[in-house]
Amino acid sequence: MPVYTLACTQPLPVTVRKAVADKITDVHCDVTGAPPEFVNVLFLHGQRTRHGERLAVIGNVRSGGNRNQELTDSLQAAIHEGVAQAADFPATEVSVRLIGFPASWSMEGGEILPEPGDEDAWLNRSS
């Protein structure tokens, strides 16, 4: 968590997929302070999107902790801008929607995920 899934109308070249995945990881970590180990980016090709966007992004992200509405709005805007830039698409051809998941409902590395902002102990759990 987070898990970002991107529905693409046409398959993106692998170099573009990597650039978009890297950008999402950068932005998510910069805005939320989450570690990159958490960030998953998945591409679904050949999808017809509702408003004809070339890329429709859904981000399943942890909610609660230090994430208020302002931070969530900032994250959504930054992901939107970053994905459009990395894919070289106009921003109007990209959509982004974030869905908040309680951290305590998920497990990674054999541990229940920490609340946003409390990642240090989780990351240092095996060291």
Report the interface residues with another protein, using CB under 8 A. 1, 3, 5, 7, 11, 14, 17-18, 21-22, 25, 36-50, 52, 56, 58, 60, 95, 97, 99, 101, 104-110, 112
Smaller CB separation from another protein, 11 or 33 = 11
- 34: enclosing H helix or E strand: none
63 forms beta bridges with 102
CA distance 64 to 96: 20
To another protein, the closest distance from the beta carbon of 45 in angstroms equals 4
- Identity of the residue, 52 or 90, whose beta carbon is nearer to another protein in the bound complex: 52
Q: Which residue's CB is nearer to another protein, number 91 or number 112?
A: 112
User: By C-beta, is 69 or 126 nearer to another protein?
Assistant: 126
Shortest Cβ 75–another protein spacing (Å): 16
Please list, residue by residue across 8-39, b when 16 or more beta carbons sit within 10 angstroms of its beta carbon and e when fewer do: bbeebeeebbebbbebbbebbeebbebeeebb
